Amino acid sequence: MHIPDGFLDAKTWIATTVIGAGAVSYSLRKSRLSLEPNKIPMVALIGAFVFAAQMINFPIAGATSGHFLGGAMTSILFGPWIGTIVMAAVLLVQAIVFQDGGITVLGANILCTGFIGSFTGYGIYMLGIRMFKGRGRAILTFIASWISIVAAASGVAALLALSGTFELATAMKAMVGWHMLIGIGEGVITMLVTGYLMERSTILARGGQTAYEGVPNNRA
Amino acid sequence: MKAFRITAHRTKWMVMAVITVATAALLSPWASSRPDGLERVAEDHGFLHQATAWNKLAPLPGYELTGMKWTAVSAGVAGLIGIAAMAIVLWGLTGFLTRSGGGRNGQSASGGD
């Protein structure tokens, strides 16, 4: 759901550019404090994976197609600040190199699919993990990433309505309707990847390095 | 609370790298060309024509190599260029972030290297 140039009016794209830039610079500051050097290759690889997976549009109901976004996945793996950074980087490369998603609306795209997607997915995932004490992680991941897509689609719909492109209720119904289906793909991919790449941490079970490594991951 | 963390198993990350390269190079030509969710909505509600592209300098617009006759190869190569660009951008950025103050691991912000 990359917004192209021309869909948002001037006030909306200027406002979202400013807010988007703020969100990215704040995320950069937050990431700087929480990022361990040994995570660098992992973040780079996951960013590349998100890009590759976003290329694969899967057909839906013979009428449309959807693709993976990855905000929820990246945030569950690395926390929502790094998640936002990775998504912003993906959108930047797509807009500059591949003309996918507009330049004026880069801020809007970063806010919707990056920031909203990352924080919604992560928030719901963490809430669920706390509530169910770590049980049912796969299904939680599916639900959290499904909701993250619906939330991102609602964000896009709200911006379209704000631009006067079309009315809010119609925009919501149309965007959320299709993305409820597209979100299923998001849920499945996020569930598979995080299931494969995450493991139980043995916090404080052994001393030294393990305990240290457990701390930021427990939080993130 | 049971906590989860990201794995440090080298093999798993190697598998992830292989999946990423295979997706970008081999799976991308098979992607559906139907309009995506937002394009569908834009078409149904009559504002798809408003879409423009400010970035005329994009080297690979639409994930295609200009002048490449085989579209499958074109999409695959575009995918490979994309994942390489992503890895370079993020490696550089996160490397810079940890060097410029990744405080927790030794506070080598200004005098470290």
Between A6, A103, A179, which is nearest B37 by CB? Answer: A179
> What is the Cα Rg of chain B in Å?
20
Phi, psi dihedrals of residue A33, rounded to the nearest 5°: -85, -20
Within a domain: residue A2?
no
Say how many domains are in chain A.
1
Q: Can you say whether the dihedral through the CA atoms of B27, B33, B39, B40 is positive or negative?
A: negative
CATH at A142: 1.10.1760.20
pLDDT of residue B101: 61
Binary contact (A52, B78; C-beta < 8 A): no
CA distances from B14 to A75, A197, B8, B76, B100 (A): 21, 11, 11, 20, 28
Encode pLDDT of A73-99 as tens digits: 999 999 999 999 999 999 999 999 999
Number of C-beta neighbours around residue A193 at 10 A? 23
Helix (H, G, I), strand (E, B) or coil at A5: strand
Binary contact (B83, A52; C-beta < 8 A): yes
CB A113 within 8 Å of CB A1 = yes
Within a domain: residue A115?
yes
Q: Based on the number of CB atoms within 10 Å of its own CB, is A44 exposed (0-12), middle (13-18) or buried (19 or more)?
A: buried
CB A160 within 8 Å of CB A13 = no
pLDDT of residue B2: 55
Task: Give the domain range for residue A78.
Answer: 10-219
| A138 reaches B (C-beta below 8 A) | no
Encode pLDDT of A16-43 as tens digits: 999 999 999 999 999 998 889 999 999 9
